[in-house]
Structure 1
Amino acid sequence: MKSEDLRKVAFRKYEDGDGVYKIFRDLNGSLGLNTIKRWYKMIRHTGSIQLSTYPGAPHLARTSKTIEKVKHKFDRKEMVTTRRLATDYGISKSSAHRILTEDLKLYAYKMTIEPKLTEEHKNKRKQFVN
């Protein structure tokens, strides 16, 4: 169930007169007890469950401004590494990697340097094999 659906269920149960622990038991562990207590308190004070901010830590690294800067760096045809991006923009290497792969759909590759073989090298290889 999504958080919005759980909020509706909790609100309905509050209107029916159920207490915090009854709601917790009815939802069968879908929500934590502290979350239900917080929502219950919110309903009493405001009359609804409105989450002002998203739960969890704020996303500071993968902002649209940072993504735009990284994209601009690629437009200039520069050699870019995740380590360099991380140090340039003050973000972690994993955040830089996520910006490249998930947001910009770019993937790393390693260029392989192939030896330049002459006809003489090829003939020597054929002789060695035989």
Structure 2
Amino acid sequence: MKSKDLRQLVLSKHESGDSIAKFFRDLNGAISYDTVKRWCNMIEKTGAIQLSVPPGPPRFIRTKQVIEKVKNRLKCKKKVSSRILAHELSISRTSVRRILRNDLQYHAYKMRVVPLLKDEHKAKRKRFSN
């Protein structure tokens, strides 16, 4: 259930005259007792449940402007590490990783140095293993 649906349910139960404990049990742990109690106090004071701030922590870093900065930086020079990118933009490495993975759908990689083997090296390796 969404928060809006839960608020409507609490509002209707409060209007029908049920006690806080009863519709907390009816909700079966979907929201806490303290939240139900706080919402009931809001209904008694204002007549509705109005949440002043959206739930969850505020978004400071992963904003559209920062995502655009990362995107533009990658257009200039494609091969750049997330550590260097974070240092240049003055944000944390984990935030850069989240932007790259979740917002821009890029995947991290690590350059691997593969030895350049010639035919004579392969023959030597084969002889040594046998």
* AA at the equivalent of 2:10: A
Q: Deviations over 1:20-74 (max 9, x none)?
A: 2232222222211221122112222332222232112101121111111111111
Structure 2 counterparts to residues 16-27 of structure 1, below 5 A:
16-27=16-27
> Quick one: distance in 1 between partners of 2:117 and 2:5?
66
> Quick one: distance in 2 between partners of 1:98 and 1:111?
20
Size of the aligned set, in residue pairs, is 130
What is the aligned partner in structure 2 of residue 53 from structure 1?
A: 53
Structure 1, unaligned runs of 5 or more:
none
Structure 2 counterparts to residues 1-130 of structure 1, below 5 A:
1-130=1-130
> Quick one: distance in 2 between partners of 1:34 and 1:47?
18
User: Shift in Å at residue 78 of structure 1?
Assistant: 4.2
- Deviates further, 11-20 or 109-118: 109-118
* AA at the equivalent of 1:22: K
Structure 2, unaligned runs of 5 or more:
none
Structure 1 runs, 4 residues or longer, greater than 4 Å off: none
What's the RMSD between the two structures over aligned residues? 2.0
Q: TM-score, normalised by structure 2?
A: 0.84
Instruction: Call closer, same or farther: CA 1:19–1:87 in 2, change over 3 Å.
Output: farther
Instruction: Call closer, same or farther: CA 1:52–1:80 in 2, change over 3 Å.
Output: farther
User: Shift in Å at residue 9 of structure 1?
Assistant: 0.7
